[in-house]
Structure 1
Amino acid sequence: MPAGTDPAGLLLLLGTVLVAGVVYGFAGFGAALIFMPVAVRILPPQVAVAAFAISALSSLVTVVPRAVPLVDRRGVTILIATATLASFAGVWVLRVADVTGLRWAVIGVTAVTLLALVSGWRYRTAPRDSTRAAVGLATGFVGGATGLLGPVMVLFQLAGRDSIARSRATALVFLTVTSLALVPVMALQGLLTAQAVGLGLVMLLPYGLGTVIGHALFRPEGEAGYRLAAYLLIGVAVVIGLPLFD
């Protein structure tokens, strides 16, 4: 058992990361939105972010290989590179900010993202490289500070004109690679603890299993169904993670 984690808390984390993996493999986003609001009730935010980033290693095997051929490689490379750069500033905020404030930030970012996605907002013009860079910078900062790499990028992706299959593939590749890139960034700033590494390795299997199950459930023609399922699960995670319920 990872140091500093009681049996009940560990069981809840493993169950949550399994559900997060199912949502991730199914919809291409939402894993951190499911995991982080619950995890920050049990762990310090720094440990939760680092452990979840390590667990993303399983996605390199389970879902990314099948997603890579579908993405715009230039576009996703710009997103990944700029997000990684901005994550240094985000992780610094994670290191020095108040824990309770960070928990509210996790809930706030999650809730705002959910409302924006449900509203169905879309843009009609093709994004430029500069737009992708701006989205990557914003995503990296928010992700480094709260562990939620998905919200800004997913809103940008789902609001565009790409097919659902391509949007999902882009999100899968981006979120997996940038999550893993957070690991050395956190190590450089002294946040990669033995507890986080141990917990991340323990979560590898349930998270990977969840992504396999989610991928098997995905149907390109079922856009409305998989969006609705992910939104409902995200909403439940927001309620569970509220600091008011401590």
Structure 2
Amino acid sequence: MHEVFGQSPQGLAIILFAALMGGIVRGFSGFGTALVFLPIATPHLGPFGALIGLTIMDILGPLPNLRRAWTAVNQGDLVRLVLGCALVLPVGLWLLAQVEPEVFRYAVSLVALFMLAILALGLRYQGRVSRTMVTGIGGAAGFLGGVAGLPGPAVILFYMSRPLPVEVIRATILLFLFAFDFLILGFLTGMGRVTLGTIGLGLVLAIPNLAGNWLGGWLFRPDRERLYRAAAYLAIALAALSGLPLWG
């Protein structure tokens, strides 16, 4: 059977579907690409292959929104988040290199389900967030991003508690995740994990992912936000459960 990017036609179709679904979920809920993509793609690509594919396709997605985000971002907090992330991300990646792929799959699925539970319950950190804590949140995001490919939960759950305009919060999160993609890609390149094949696959995955982002945004209607968020939660739950090594 002819393989493309080391995948059978069925495996490649599943990975492309994961990229599409991750884009759709992000398009109509504002988050969820990694939460959907990684549990589905990791059994086919392995931990590092899935991370590289996700990173490359995710770099292209926010490009149209970067200029507007830069005008609204809290630049001081952004620097602290990225600094904390850069310091701790190598630790998470080193730990990932030491464990079996099944451990990574469990970590991704369990973190995704934990994030889903917190989102569904509407829980938020209510305390004061200091500058040092912002750096620490960046570090936590770097660790989770390295060991499980999920830098978003730490930033989203804690940073949104700050008494700032929604536009500022969203801009800072968007730019942090954009910077994270370059950080992890740089570290993975230094580890010798990035190849022309993985780069090519990431660029191919960007096509359905961008289409999914557009479709999700087109489908979204503000008056039906609850319905779409419920659909996003369901998609994340199914992806997380399907990614568990229990199913083979």
Answer yes or no: is 1:171 the counterpart of 2:173.
yes
CA displacement 1:10-50 (0-9 Å, x = unmatched): 11111211121222233332110010000112121111111
Q: Which residue of 2 aligns with 1:57?
A: 59
Distance 1:74 1:222 in 2: 35
CA displacement 1:156-176 (0-9 Å, x = unmatched): 134444455444333322222
Q: Which runs of 5 or more structure 2 residues have no equivalent in the other structure?
A: none
Alignment of 1:153-192 (within 5 A): 153-192=155-194
Equivalent residues of 2:39, 2:243 under 8 A apart: yes
Equivalent residues of 2:124, 2:157 under 8 A apart: no
**Paired amino acid for 1:181:** L
SS in 1 for 2:44: coil
Distance 1:220 1:243 in 2: 37
From 79, 86, 89, give the equivalent of 2:88: 86
Change (3 A) 1:63 1:231: farther
From 17, 20, 33, give the equivalent of 2:19: 17
Equivalent residues of 1:79, 1:133 under 8 A apart: yes
Distance 2:164 2:228 in 1: 16
Distance 2:232 2:172 in 1: 17
SS in 2 for 1:40: helix
Change (3 A) 1:185 1:220: farther
Equivalent residues of 2:112, 2:240 under 8 A apart: yes
Equivalent residues of 1:29, 1:154 under 8 A apart: no
Distance 1:45 1:121 in 2: 29
SS in 2 for 1:124: coil
Q: Which runs of 5 or more structure 1 residues have no equivalent in the other structure?
A: none
Q: Which residue of 2 aligns with 1:234?
A: 236
| Percent of aligned pairs with the same amino acid | 34
Q: Which residue of 2 aligns with 1:29?
A: 31
Q: Which residue of 1 aligns with 2:100?
A: 98
Change (3 A) 1:149 1:50: same
- 1:130 Cα deviation from its structure 2 partner: 0.8
- 1:224 Cα deviation from its structure 2 partner: 4.1
Q: Which residue of 1 aligns with 2:141?
A: 139
Equivalent residues of 1:106, 1:146 under 8 A apart: yes
Q: Which residue of 1 aligns with 2:10?
A: 8
Give the aligned CA root-mean-square deviation in angstroms: 2.4
Equivalent residues of 2:18, 2:36 under 8 A apart: yes
Question: Aligned pair count?
Answer: 246
Distance 1:200 1:87 in 2: 21
Q: Give the greater-gyration-radius structure (CA).
A: 2
**Paired amino acid for 2:12:** L
